[in-house]
Copies of this chain bind each other. A is one copy, B any other.
Amino acid sequence: MVELGTIDRHSDRPPYQQIASVLRDLIVAEKLEPGAKLPSEARLVEHYGVARMTVRQALQELRGEGLVVSEHGRGVFVRPMPPVRRLASDRFARKHRSEGKAAFLAEADSVGYTPTVDRIEVSHGSAPDRVAELLRLDVGAEVVIRSRRYLANGRPVETAVSYIPAEFAAGTKIEQPDTGPGGLYARLEEAGHTLDTFSEEVTARMPVGDERSALEIGPGIPVLTVLRTAYDTEGVPVEVCDTVKVAPAYVLQYDFPAR
C-alpha cells in the first residue's frame, strides 16, 4: 500500500498538479517500482475527492514526462526502463568484426543484457533524397535496403535501416536477411571496400506515430536519431545507416582530436 497523502484545496497549485506531484514523488523515490501498477483512476477519484477528469489530467502530466504508461483495460503502470547502452565511437572497430560479431551483439556481452534482432527485412528500392545525397547517388538510384529492430532484454531499443548502393551489394550476403559472421561491414570489406571512416549526424526529437509503436514508447519519450555514413579507404560512401534509438536507453560517446 502506498501513501497517497491529500491535496490542499486552497493552494496556489491546482489539484491536478498536486496529485501529479504526489505520484511523481512516489515513482522517483521508487516507492512505486518500475512496472508497478498505480491505483486505478476510480480509486484516485475516491481518495482525493475530485472529478475523474482531474485525476486524468494528473496522469496525463506523468505520461507526458514518460514516467508512466497506460494500458487500456489493465491499468496505469510505472514505466520500466530498458538498460542503458553506452555506444563508444570505436564500437565498429575492426577487432570486433574479426571476432565474427556484429556491433550490437558484441557489445551485449560486455554490458550484460540479452540482445535480440527481429523484423529483419531486405529489399531493393530507391534511397530517400538525403540518403542519396550522402551516398552521392542520383535521386532514385537503386539501393539495397536492410531494416531491422534491436531489442535488449526483450524490450525494443532501436530501429535501423541501412542503404547500400546496389552495385556494392550485388551477389553478396548483403542481399540476404542473414549477412553472416561479422555482419554487413565484414561483407563490404570482403567485397573490396575496406572501411576507413564513419561520419554520424546525431539529432533528437519526439517520436512520430509508427516509431512509437515499433519502439513501444509513449509520447513522453524522445528518440535519438543517428545517421551514419561509412566511407571506404578511397573516400567512397558505401553505406548509410539511419537509426532511431529510445533516448533514455542510450549514451553516445565520441572522442575527437583538438587538432
Contact = CB atoms under 8 A, between A and B. Distances in A.
| Copy count, this protein chain | 2
Interface residues of A, number: 42
Contacts of A222: 204-206, 222, 247
A257 interface: yes
A53 interface: yes
7 contacts: A64-B219, A64-B220, A196-B257, A202-B202, A203-B247, A203-B251, A204-B222
> Among the interface residues A90, A199, A222, which one has the most CB atoms of the partner chain B within 10 A?
A222
Nearest to A66: B206
Contacts of A196: 257-258
A195 interface: yes
A94 B206 contact: no
A203 B226 CA distance: 12
Contacts of A195: 258
A247 B207 CA distance: 13
A82 interface: no
Given A90-B259, A202-B253, A230-B258, 17 more contacts: A64-B220, A65-B206, A65-B219, A66-B206, A89-B254, A90-B256, A93-B259, A195-B258, A197-B256, A199-B253, A202-B224, A202-B252, A203-B251, A204-B222, A205-B247, A206-B221, A222-B247
